[in-house]
Amino acid sequence: MLTLYSMPSSGNSYKVRLLLAFLGTPYDHIGGEYGSGLTDSDAFRALNPAGKLPLLKLEDGRLIAESNAILLYLARGTRFLPDDAYEQALCHQWMFFEQNSHETSIAVRAAILTYPQRAHLRTPDRLDPLLESGNRALSIMEAQLEKTPFLTGDAPTVADISLYGYTHSAEKGGFDMQRFPAVNAWLDRIAAEPGHVPLAFVPGAA
């Protein structure tokens, strides 16, 4: 069985749990919440020297780090990753955008406002640029989702799951989501997909 090391409150980890839920794939879950010390342990650093979650351990013991790399691995051969090379490239395009332009603004601002350990960063010179760049990323999504129901066309892909991870909770970062009606409609479509689970879901939890 697969083993997923993930941080329950992290959008990056949630992406992977969400895809596994959509696929109905069973897995063992090892949680490491912010400040738990899991990623600083020698045992975990031996698995992932970068000390980051999520981390997927395959049945044969091989490991895959980085949330979007894990998504692409799990989605192969499923409806969430097209076979066509161009359509795959569109998925990659949005997933690179997610890590370079979206997560770095929306997730970072939410983390600063959410985690007590980052309270010292709650200053205008830090928060204001993140609000501006995050709104710019959401506007790019809005423009696409005004044209197509999902980011790459008519059906959900790993690109949508990747962007959903932090967009669905963007209000935690102080983003006014009423400005983005097409994004909100897209969020509803993702949440209506069979197998959808919320951020708090981890297998085996009561």
Q: Per-residue pLDDT for the chain (206 aa), expressed as one digit of tens each?
A: 999 999 999 999 999 999 999 999 999 999 998 778 898 999 999 999 999 999 999 999 999 999 999 999 999 999 999 999 999 999 999 999 999 999 999 999 999 999 998 999 999 999 999 999 999 999 999 999 999 999 999 999 999 999 999 999 999 999 999 999 999 999 999 999 999 999 999 987 54
Q: Would you state the structure tokens that stand for residue 38, as one six-digit string?
A: 């899991």
* Distance in angstroms (rounded) separating the CA atoms of residues 57 and 51: 14
Domain ranges of the chain: 2-75, 85-191
Alpha helix (H) residue ranges in 6-116: 11-23, 42-47, 67-75, 85-97, 108-114
Q: Would you state the structure tokens that stand for residue 15, as one six-digit string?
A: 């992406």
Nearest to 24 by CA among 68, 79, 67: 79
142 Cβ contact partners less than 8 Å away, ≥ 6 residues apart:
180, 181, 182, 183
Note the CATH number of domain 85-191: 1.20.1050.10
- Tokens 């709650």 belong to 122
Report the CATH architecture of 2-75: 3-Layer(aba) Sandwich (3.40)
Q: What was the pLDDT predicted at 10?
A: 94
Nearest to 114 by CA among 168, 163, 174: 174
* Distance in angstroms (rounded) separating the CA atoms of residues 54 and 38: 12
Judge if pTM exceeds 0.75: yes
Its sign, for the CA torsion 26, 32, 33, 34, is: negative
Q: What is the DSSP letter of 44?
A: H
* Distance in angstroms (rounded) separating the CA atoms of residues 110 and 151: 23
User: What is the β-pairing status of strands 27-31 and 63-65?
Assistant: unpaired
Nearest to 53 by CA among 73, 39, 63: 39
User: CA torsion 174→178→182→183, rounded to 10°?
Assistant: 20
**42: three-class secondary structure by DSSP:** helix
DSSP letters of 99-142?
A: IIIIIIIIIHHHHHHH-GGGGGG-SHHHHHHHHHHHHHHHHHHH
Q: Would you state the structure tokens that stand for residue 60, as one six-digit string?
A: 């044969």
